[in-house]
Structure 1
Amino acid sequence: MKIKLFYQKYKQSLEDFESQVNDFMATVEVVDVKYSEATVGNSDDMDTLTSVMVLYK
């Protein structure tokens, strides 16, 4: 089995990020998908980091 990691790039739209992950998953046999989201920064400058790990054969 292998893994593929995806990170939503700065200012990348959610639709583009979803498309990137979905396009990859359409080409492999997916075993599992893990999603993670974290906040970074402070109350004046807050952002989120979104990542997806695809476990595939």
Structure 2
Amino acid sequence: MKTKLFIYRAWKQPLEDFEQEVNDFLATVQLVDVKISGATLGSSEDMSAQTTLLVVYQ
């Protein structure tokens, strides 16, 4: 099995581009599992969110 990590940072990349990148990759592999985690970053004045996908595939 292999793994690939996708990190979505809303301030750097449009959501549609991130979704397309993940979907294009998943179309080329045999998927085993996907794990999703989210985190908030920054201070109370300047917050953002980051989403991470861990894809396990063969």
2:49 — aligned with what? 48
Matching residue's letter, 1:2: K
TM-score (structure 2 length as normaliser): 0.90
Q: Which runs of 5+ in 1 are unaligned?
A: none
Matching residue's letter, 1:4: K
Q: Which runs of 5+ in 2 are unaligned?
A: none
The answer to whether residue 15 in structure 2 is matched with residue 14 in structure 1 is yes
Q: Report the Cα offset of residue 42 of structure 1.
A: 1.3
Aligned sequence identity (%): 58
Q: Report the Cα offset of residue 43 of structure 1.
A: 1.2
TM-score (structure 1 length as normaliser): 0.91
CA distance in 2 between partners of 1:44 and 1:21 (Å): 31
Matching residue's letter, 2:29: V
Q: Report the Cα offset of residue 54 of structure 1.
A: 0.5
The number of equivalent residue pairs is 57
CA distance in 2 between partners of 1:7 and 1:24 (Å): 14
